[in-house]
Amino acid sequence: MKSTVVIGVVILFVFILFGAGGCSYNGLVKERENVNSAWAQVENVYQRRADLIPNLVNTVKGAANFEKSTLEAVVTARASATQVKLDANNLDEAGLKRFQQAQDGLSSAISRLLMVTENYPDLKANKNFSELQSQLEGSENRISTERKKFNDVVRTYNTKVSSFPTNLFAGMFGYAPKAYFEATKGSDKAPEVNF
């Protein structure tokens, strides 16, 4: 009789352990897929911006005496940004920093291009250029929104991976915390403007 109770308790313990493990594992899978989906959307909006750039460059090329070095910088930055690829299952801090640096380089090149266009009133009046500029601004807003959503999903995932008892199963199944998008260094300070 005593051995039957002990066996029953052991079976109940194993059943509870597997039940908790299954729930934890399924929750991890769900959160990982949420991160993958959010990452795919981040890549989507960055790709949208990259796809607009050749049209912008071609429109600007038509402007007489436009600074060739500025256009070359944009084309080079776009090529660099589109070559940095990350796997959603391996979003570590170093990889995300490389991705972010390449995208920041492209953002900077586009900003320089748009600043230089201020010297070309005919270009500013060009309807195609105005539309492309507006679409780029919209893309930048989308990028900001999707990066925030990505960080929110990663926070939920990282919390689940780090919380007890799920953290026990996360380690066994190879689930590790993911990296966040971070603000570019110096972006916390307002630029100094002198007239």
Instruction: Quote the pLDDT of residue 194.
Output: 40
**pLDDT grade for 122, boundaries at 50, 70 and 90:** confident
**pLDDT grade for 39, boundaries at 50, 70 and 90:** very high
Instruction: Quote the pLDDT of residue 193.
Output: 38
Half-sphere exposure of 101 (CA within 13 A, CB side): 7
**pLDDT grade for 31, boundaries at 50, 70 and 90:** very high
- Say which residues have a Cβ less than 8 Å from residue 53's Cβ, sequence separation at least 6: 74, 75, 78, 106, 110
Residue 189, pLDDT > 60, answer no
**pLDDT grade for 191, boundaries at 50, 70 and 90:** very low
Instruction: Quote the pLDDT of residue 57.
Output: 85
Rounded to an integer, what distance in angstroms lies between the CA atom of residue 171 and that of residue 21? 12
Residue 3, pLDDT > 90, answer no
DSSP the chain: -HHHHHHHHHHHHHHHHHHHHHHHHHHHHHHHHHHHHHHHHHHHHHHHHHHHHHHHHHHHHTSTT--HHHHHHHHHHHHHHHH----GGG--HHHHHHHHHHHHHHHHHHHHHHHHGGG-HHHHH-HHHHHHHHHHHHHHHHHHHHHHHHHHHHHHHHHHHHSTTHHHHHHHTT--PPPPP-PPTTTTSPPP---
Highest-scoring range by mean pLDDT, 105-109, 113-117, 121-125: 105-109
Q: What is the four-CA torsion angle of 112, 53, 83, 152, rounded to 10 degrees?
A: 80
Instruction: Quote the pLDDT of residue 140.
Output: 92
Instruction: Quote the pLDDT of residue 55.
Output: 87
Instruction: Quote the pLDDT of residue 17.
Output: 54
Instruction: Quote the pLDDT of residue 67.
Output: 74
- pLDDT tens digits for 16-28? 555 555 557 888 8
Mean pLDDT value of segment 127-148: 90
Q: Which residue has the higher pLDDT, 188 or 71?
A: 71
pTM: 0.78
Residue 11, pLDDT > 90, answer no
